[in-house]
Amino acid sequence: MRVSIPYGSSRISCDITDSRLRAVLAPTLPNASAKNPGDELVKASLARPVGSLPLRELARGKKRVVILSSDHTRPVPSAVIMPLLLEEIRGGNPGADITILVATGCHRCTTDDELEKRYGTEIVRTVKIVVHDSRDESGHVAAGTLPSGGELVLNRLAVEADLLVAEGFIEPHFFAGFSGGRKSVLPGVAAYRTVLANHCAEFIASPGARTGILEGNPIHRDMVYAARKAGLAFICNVVLDPEKRIVAAFSGDMEKAHEEGCAFLARFAKVQAAPADIVITGNGGYPLDQNIYQAVKSMTAAEASCRPGGVIIEAAECRDGHGGEAFFHAFRDIPTPRGVQESILTRGRDSTEPDQWEIQIFARILTNHPVILVSSAPRETAEYMNMKWASSLQDALALAEEILGDGNATVTVIPDGVSVIVDAAGN
**How far apart (Å, rounded) are the C-alpha atoms in residues 208 and 178?**
12
**How far apart (Å, rounded) are the C-alpha atoms in residues 177 and 298?**
14
Provide the β-strand partners of residue 177. 173
Q: How far apart are the first and last CA of the chain?
A: 29
Q: Identify the CA nearest to 182 among candidates 216, 147, 146, 220.
A: 220
Looking at 51-103, which runs of residues are DSSP E strands?
A: 64-70, 97-103
**How far apart (Å, rounded) are the C-alpha atoms in residues 322 and 267?**
33
Alpha helices of 254-355 — where are they, by DSSP H? 256-269, 292-303, 325-328, 337-345
Contact yes or no for 364/344 (Cβ under 8 A): no
Choose the catalytic residue: 72, 107, 140, 258. 107
Contact yes or no for 142/153 (Cβ under 8 A): yes
Using alpha carbons only, give the angle 267, 270, 272 rounded to the nearest 5 degrees. 135
**How far apart (Å, rounded) are the C-alpha atoms in residues 132 and 256?**
26
**How far apart (Å, rounded) are the C-alpha atoms in residues 369 and 392?**
20
**How far apart (Å, rounded) are the C-alpha atoms in residues 231 and 184?**
12
Around Cβ 1, how many Cβ atoms within 10 Å?
Answer: 12
CA dihedral of residues 31, 34, 40, 45 (deg, nearest 10): -30
Give whole-number Cα distances, 64 to 101, 158, 191, 232, in Å.
12, 10, 21, 13
Q: Would residue 61 be called left, alpha or beta, if left means φ above 0 and alpha means ψ between -120 and 50 degrees?
A: left
Could you confirm whether 107 is annotated as catalytic?
yes
Q: Identify the CA nearest to 328 among candidates 374, 379, 384, 377.
A: 384
Choose the catalytic residue: 72, 132, 140, 173. 173
**How far apart (Å, rounded) are the C-alpha atoms in residues 392 and 11?**
11
Q: Identify the CA nearest to 296 among candidates 312, 275, 274.
A: 312
Catalytic residue list: 107, 173
